Structure 1
Amino acid sequence: MSVVVESPSRSDRAARSGRWRSTALVGIYTLASLVGAGLLFVVQPMVTKMILPAYGGSPMVWNTAVLFFQGALLLGYGYAHFAQRLGAGKQPILHAVLILLPLPLLPIAAPEWVGAPASAPPALWLLLVLTVMVGAPFTAVAATSPLIQRWYSWSDLPRSGDPYFLYAAGNTGSLLALLSYPLFIEPAAEVRGQATWWAIGYGVFVTLMAACAVVVRRAARPGADDAPEPGPAEETTAQDARKDTGEERIDWRRRGRWLFLAFVPSSLMLGVTAHMSTDIAPVPLMWVIPLALYLVTFIVAFALRTHRRLPAAVVVSAVAAVVLPWTLIRGGIGYAPAAIALDLALLAVAGLTCHGLLAADRPAPRRLTEFFFVTSVGGALGGLFNGIAAPLVFNWTAELPVVVASLGLLPLAARWPARRIPGPALTRWAFLVTAPPAALLLCFMHTPTLRCAGFALAAAWILLIARRPRVLAAVAVLAVLVPFTVKQAHNTDRERTFFGQYQVRLTDERATFVHGTTVHGFQLRAPGQRMTPVSYYARRGPIGDVFAAYGARPPSGRVAVVGLGAGGLAAYGRAGQQMDFFEIDPAVVRIARDPRYFTYLRDCGCRARTIVGDGRLELQRAPDHSYGMILLDAFSSDAVPTHLLTRQAIGLYARKLAVGGVLVFNVSNRNLELAPMLGATGRAAGLATLTASDTAPKGDRLSFSSEWVAMARSADDLRPLAVRSARWHQIRGGGPVWTDAHSALFELLKMNRR
């Protein structure tokens, strides 16, 4: 009998071949996760940018779009959870067929009926538009993450017992795609070209998923087609259930904790995005940064094997729950870079905490799809709260401080036991009761040392109550309720719509119109002063020069104003003239025409018309050469409706100007330096440009500092303005040219101005 001994070299070659095969298969799964996640997060800013102009550049467009994408993600995760019960033999075939179905619908394009009719709620109409545009391909791709992890768990490949590393890989692809969009994709191609490339990427994704389906059918380990796990009523109640047997206990309390931990960072991300977009601009850069940071917290949380820093993160988040709602309800920090930094730091810490607690509590692979389904429900509830519920329930943007206060529940979600506060009982209670008013009193002192002592006392008090999770949660609730009640008690009329949050502040002297955090004009209430131009529109300011030079006889006798506000520009109207005010939000028209608040439109000398609709779209319908003056004053809070300031938009306005007419932009802004950009964009559109600014004298309560840009077909058409005042001059320096396909925002931030 002879024995054949395999040579070591052949054995080594076989081992190396097996390792290479395993590496290649792991690479296919990882690449499919990366491509699928990248497609998911490129399509979101791309599609939202397609539809943004039809909704007036409102920041709520992004929140509503995110709500849709979260709902579609939930649908995809739900399909993945229930379809995986078919097992390794049937489920990959079903999914391969489903991802082929959206191919005839590509490339993605906005339908002609994208804009909401007057009779339809904008948010609901937008959800319908998104469903038709991108619902099928997005949902097909959305199922990738949980499905591909479940497929991997059916294999005998490395780490098949803990496939959550593919979730981190997918989130890395999402992050890369998000960062690439504003930096590379948006500047390189218009949205139609982006949609074409996305369709090509979808084809690559289909190919990779087909390869994964073949692999899972051929390489599934024995037992991969086991019967599905039991439902909630059949789950074992044994306390020693082990994850590796698939019998671990998942009750409704645990699912509720997953829901809460997914809800909070989702809602917080949307609240931070709206906060940033409202005061800067609703453009992809402002959407991408919070979403990218949200994804980074996912990646870090699920990539870590241990979570030793979680207790410290829970304490920091809980402290924020007590302190920050006061700041947010009072209006936040006025300095934009500091406010952005605070927003993003809060999102990073809270996201790492919530996602870290989720990752630490993740179940065995057999319950993986249920875990992701429940967490996607929590994320969708966050979008529903911010996008639909909060605008209906609150007449101001209360959702951000409310969600921040909910961080006080994290010690309870982490299942921390209450710990005894050291010291005698009488001393403990005396400190807990007296420290808050003492700290508040010290913080309002003028002496820096006393202020620091107040902050230190408050920090010590918060750290002590952090040892008692229930007390901390109660204090966090009070941190919202007290300033919330004070805010509600102010003598302020508020209204909130899809397009913004409005307030009318009434005093004996004036009625003030506030949009978001920015005053958009006021009117004096004394009978003899009602038609006095004030705020940004004071006669001593640059807009006074414009009306002095052109207002008496504007060519054609018609003036167009995009953006109504309180209607303050109507104070310049003269008999025989017509002023058309274009306003996208009917609520603003209602406020401006309410005689309890403002009477500019009623009392002006001209004929004042209000036209409800997006200014750019409505002007497009006007006859060419029909307006002697066109004034752009359509800011949402301090945010810039970018689609009104592009080269294409300026070209449209120029066509509507009568011979010798002038185009004027109000570029007064706390956070952005817009004049250089408008100068470059106006020159690219073939127009001559001038700019002027004015600083209100100290103690002047009737005028605001303002900055304006004027454009015309030729320098001769601007000569009356240049002759009128020496403050009108050429725009110095270069700037980016904004187009419908690209809005370069970051370089316009006033990073060094308060």
Structure 2
Amino acid sequence: MVAKIILPYFGGGSAVWTACMLFYQSLLLVGYLYSFCISKLKTVYQQLAVHSVLLVVGMALMPLSLESIATTEISTQPFFDIFTLLLLGIGAPYFVLSATSPLLQYWLSHSVKSVQVYRLYSVSNVAAMMALFCYPLIIEYNLALSMQVWMWSGLYIAFSLFNFYCLYQVYRNTDKKATQPVQTAQSKLASGVNITRCIKWFLLSATGVILLVSTTNNLTINVPPIPFLWTLPLALYLLTYILCFFDERVYLKWYWNLMFSVVSLVALFLFSIGSQFAITEQICLYLVVLFVACIICHGEIAKSKPGNEDMTLFYLILAAGGCAGSVFASILATELFTQYYEYIVGICLVFVLSIAMEWQKQQGKVERKLVYLNVVGCLVFVSLFYLMQSQFNKYNVYESRNFFGIIQVKDIVNIDNPQRRLIDGYTSHGAQALAHQGKPMPLSYYRPETGVGIMLNLMANNGSGNKVGIIGLGVGALAYYGQAQDEFVFYEINPDVEYVAKRYFNYLTTSAATIDVRSGDARVSLANDYQQNGAQGFDMLIVDAFSSDSIPQHLLTREALALYEQHLAADGVLVFHISNSYLDLRAIMSGIEAQSGLQSRYFKTSDSATDTDQAEWVIFTSNMRYLADPQVVSRSVPLREVSQNVIQWSDNHSSLLSVIKL
């Protein structure tokens, strides 16, 4: 819920979810550290008293308030902006939530001797998994964000009241004057908790989280980052904990290690050529790989869990490992790698840890065949990865990675018309012919016969001195249509894209128009422009931010449309690029038409012998000079002829489930 609230202010990509995951893991660690420390207080009465105060503080902060988000200014470190926002907005309530489960399990183990506390850990994860599925399928789809916040606040108060009841029951059934036994080094050694065991828990926990975060990142390269798809990997991750802690017999070492040797090769093909798989195939295969890997990690953790006395230490180490894995996959990997290589690191870690754990077995005979299986599996995986990456990257001219994702510039020379392309994940964001002379001709979605090419040429034919706003820079191909005395204003959130467009492509530098590239989220920039300088008076405003799979929903809401209309000239044209492999945005366009009262035209340009990209563009205008033009009449149709459904999004309610192509 909170990730969805902050999503519009940080570009709409899966990195927002990754940052939220890091916050979750970090505060979970703090909560578990608190649980560990409070369990060392001398009496249970003291422990209950301290935690009761914390529950009261959490309730006092309800209802949840996230008003500070709307006034947030994004810095050059969006990860830390998100972390700060979450800490100020939900830090205290979530801290209480994170500390509750291990503490209740610890107290129950002392007050109800027959209870199997580690099974309660499974039950708590079942509840978390149910909530993950309920949110995108029921809550997000049916409730506005404001209602979701109120509902969560109410549930939190109910949770706190139930906690008071549980604390009262523990108070009744526990000797308040009984003191905690002091564990000496000898007693800890007898319980089996040593440094080797702690390192094992830490590394296994970290590996599971690395694979969770990297799977989410890789999955949303080609698949729209809707919350439902974000939650699927996390739900499966929790399911492996549920199964392994409910019954240790789920983890059959030979079976799951053999299975992992097979699915690791599937992971390699997904990583290298994921775009060749259908959307459902990608989702299913990525989740199978994650499930098998996490069964191994969490199965080994469950088999080596300590007794009840060391439960809070055990949970603390798991949380520390999870936090370390999240930091590596969310922050360090962005600095170390130009692609999502942390996914490959996670796969290799499963192999290496499986080998190490078998060799260091203190009880029972080392199964050498199992060791050989993992050694061979790891060597084959690494060798194939090297070969496939050398082929995949041989056309690379430039690649970079930041918070907003991965971009690559590739020179594709093995085709009839060699091109230089800008690739975001696996999605092309524009191209330029390598053999061009002088001013390069736009290719792909921006060629002259597409809807946007027709409209920009018509505008140029009607005179110079036009002002055009463009949301989404890409390679800057639309600058080609600029004439002398025209002004083209580009809005681009990713600073690396601006660098690439100026350094590796020639559209911006050869345009006759005055070019202005403004960094930051387009909607925030447009709102600031209106407040500071008034309406921009665009003769044409082009919204080109949806061909990628990270859909910024906040650019399609009624509030966004109202902002666009403020900046349009009286007879201006609003243009949307809706080409997308996985989403059908025509119903959203119908909603915009109904809200604006403008007339629409839908352009669909088929692929050609020289360009394989189909282009879909929709225009909205009241300017009859454009609508009656023979080119527009012959190349387009009214939107209602291709879309009978009408969907209107608002900042308070939107769901990509309604427009996903299955």
TM-score normalised to structure 1 length: 0.80
In the alignment, which residue of structure 1 is the partner of 2:45? 89
Out of 144, 148, 166, the residue aligned to residue 104 of structure 2 is 148
Contact preservation (8 Å) 1:405, 1:479? no
Out of 597, 606, 609, the residue aligned to residue 695 of structure 1 is 606
Whether 2:54 is the aligned partner of 1:111: answer no
Distance, in Å, in 2 between the alignment partners of 1:468 and 1:602 is 56
Deviations 1:426-453 (A, max 9, x none): xxxxxxxxxxxxxxxxxxxxxxxxxxxx
Task: Report SS of the residue matched to 2:449.
Answer: coil
Distance, in Å, in 1 between the alignment partners of 2:423 and 2:210 is 25
Distance, in Å, in 1 between the alignment partners of 2:72 and 2:277 is 34
In the alignment, which residue of structure 2 is the partner of 1:174? 128
Whether 2:421 is the aligned partner of 1:512: answer yes
Greater shift, 85-94 or 552-561, is seen at 552-561
Contact preservation (8 Å) 2:400, 2:407? yes
In the alignment, which residue of structure 1 is the partner of 2:281? 338
Contact preservation (8 Å) 1:57, 1:642? yes
In the alignment, which residue of structure 1 is the partner of 2:651? 740
Counterpart residue identity of residue 652, structure 2: A
Distance, in Å, in 2 between the alignment partners of 1:114 and 1:333 is 41
Identity rate, percent: 29
Whether 2:517 is the aligned partner of 1:574: answer no
Out of 54, 58, 71, the residue aligned to residue 98 of structure 1 is 54
Summarize the alignment of residues 554-565 of structure 1 with structure 2, pairs less than 5 Å apart: 557-565=466-474
Summarize the alignment of residues 277-676 of structure 1 with structure 2, pairs less than 5 Å apart: 277-304=220-247, 306-307=249-250, 309-322=252-265, 324-331=267-274, 333-412=276-355, 415=358, 419=367, 467-484=372-389, 490-506=395-411, 509-528=418-437, 530-553=439-462, 557-594=466-503, 597-620=504-527, 621-622=529-530, 623-624=534-535, 626-635=537-546, 637-676=548-587
Contact preservation (8 Å) 2:465, 2:485? no
Counterpart residue identity of residue 123, structure 2: A
Deviations 1:621-679 (A, max 9, x none): 33337111111112474332111122322232123221121111111111222222322
Q: Summarize the Cα distance change of 1:209–1:659 in structure 2 as closer, same or farther, 3 Å threshold.
A: same
**Shift of residue 478 of structure 1?**
4.0
Whether 2:227 is the aligned partner of 1:272: answer no
Deviations 1:683-705 (A, max 9, x none): 245443332212112x314x621
**Shift of residue 91 of structure 1?**
0.5
Task: Report SS of the residue matched to 2:515.
Answer: strand
Counterpart residue identity of residue 61, structure 1: V
In the alignment, which residue of structure 2 is the partner of 1:50? 5
Contact preservation (8 Å) 2:258, 2:373? no
Counterpart residue identity of residue 495, structure 1: S
Contact preservation (8 Å) 1:549, 1:721? no
Distance, in Å, in 2 between the alignment partners of 1:67 and 1:345 is 23
In the alignment, which residue of structure 2 is the partner of 1:65? 20
Counterpart residue identity of residue 406, structure 2: Q
Deviations 1:158-213 (A, max 9, x none): 42xx2112212211221222112112222333323322222222211221111122
Distance, in Å, in 2 between the alignment partners of 1:224 and 1:492 is 69
Deviations 1:483-521 (A, max 9, x none): 456656654311111111111123674322111111111
**Shift of residue 360 of structure 1?**
2.2
Q: Summarize the Cα distance change of 1:573–1:737 in structure 2 as closer, same or farther, 3 Å threshold.
A: same
**Shift of residue 383 of structure 1?**
1.1
Counterpart residue identity of residue 600, structure 1: Y
In the alignment, which residue of structure 2 is the partner of 1:125? 81
In the alignment, which residue of structure 2 is the partner of 1:444? none
Q: Summarize the Cα distance change of 1:331–1:307 in structure 2 as closer, same or farther, 3 Å threshold.
A: closer
Q: Summarize the Cα distance change of 1:355–1:718 in structure 2 as closer, same or farther, 3 Å threshold.
A: farther
Counterpart residue identity of residue 79, structure 2: A
Distance, in Å, in 1 between the alignment partners of 2:630 and 2:567 is 20
**Shift of residue 600 of structure 1?**
0.9
In the alignment, which residue of structure 2 is the partner of 1:26? none
Counterpart residue identity of residue 606, structure 2: T
Q: Summarize the Cα distance change of 1:257–1:183 in structure 2 as closer, same or farther, 3 Å threshold.
A: same
Q: Summarize the Cα distance change of 1:489–1:557 in structure 2 as closer, same or farther, 3 Å threshold.
A: closer
Q: Higher Cα Rg: structure 1 or 2? A: 1
Distance, in Å, in 2 between the alignment partners of 1:217 and 1:616 is 54
**Shift of residue 234 of structure 1?**
3.9
Contact preservation (8 Å) 2:10, 2:74? no
Contact preservation (8 Å) 1:582, 1:611? yes
Task: Report SS of the residue matched to 1:661.
Answer: strand
Distance, in Å, in 2 between the alignment partners of 1:184 and 1:713 is 39
After superposition, the CA RMSD in angstroms is 2.7
In the alignment, which residue of structure 2 is the partner of 1:20? none
Counterpart residue identity of residue 286, structure 2: D
Counterpart residue identity of residue 168, structure 1: S
Deviations 1:516-547 (A, max 9, x none): 11111112244535331211101122222222
Counterpart residue identity of residue 398, structure 2: D
In the alignment, which residue of structure 1 is the partner of 2:362? none
Task: Report SS of the residue matched to 2:39.
Answer: helix
Distance, in Å, in 2 between the alignment partners of 1:54 and 1:502 is 21
Counterpart residue identity of residue 729, structure 1: P
Contact preservation (8 Å) 1:325, 1:405? no
Task: Report SS of the residue matched to 2:183.
Answer: coil
Greater shift, 109-118 or 310-319, is seen at 109-118
Greater shift, 606-615 or 633-642, is seen at 633-642
Deviations 1:73-96 (A, max 9, x none): 110011101111114221011011
Mark the runs of 5 or more structure 2 residues left unpaired by the alignment: 360-364
Greater shift, 641-650 or 87-96, is seen at 641-650
Task: Report SS of the residue matched to 2:111.
Answer: coil
Q: Name the count of aligned residue pairs.
A: 645
Task: Report SS of the residue matched to 2:408.
Answer: strand
In the alignment, which residue of structure 1 is the partner of 2:164? 210
Contact preservation (8 Å) 2:395, 2:412? no
Q: Summarize the Cα distance change of 1:400–1:90 in structure 2 as closer, same or farther, 3 Å threshold.
A: same
Distance, in Å, in 2 between the alignment partners of 1:700 and 1:473 is 42
Out of 180, 183, 189, the residue aligned to residue 226 of structure 1 is 180
Distance, in Å, in 1 between the alignment partners of 2:231 and 2:628 is 43
Counterpart residue identity of residue 711, structure 1: F
Mark the runs of 5 or more structure 1 residues left unpaired by the alignment: 1-45, 238-246, 422-464
In the alignment, which residue of structure 2 is the partner of 1:7? none
Distance, in Å, in 2 between the alignment partners of 1:628 and 1:332 is 37
Distance, in Å, in 1 between the alignment partners of 2:254 and 2:142 is 44
Distance, in Å, in 1 between the alignment partners of 2:91 and 2:595 is 38
Task: Report SS of the residue matched to 2:636.
Answer: coil
Distance, in Å, in 1 between the alignment partners of 2:421 and 2:345 is 27
**Shift of residue 109 of structure 1?**
0.7
Whether 2:17 is the aligned partner of 1:74: answer no
Q: Summarize the Cα distance change of 1:359–1:681 in structure 2 as closer, same or farther, 3 Å threshold.
A: farther
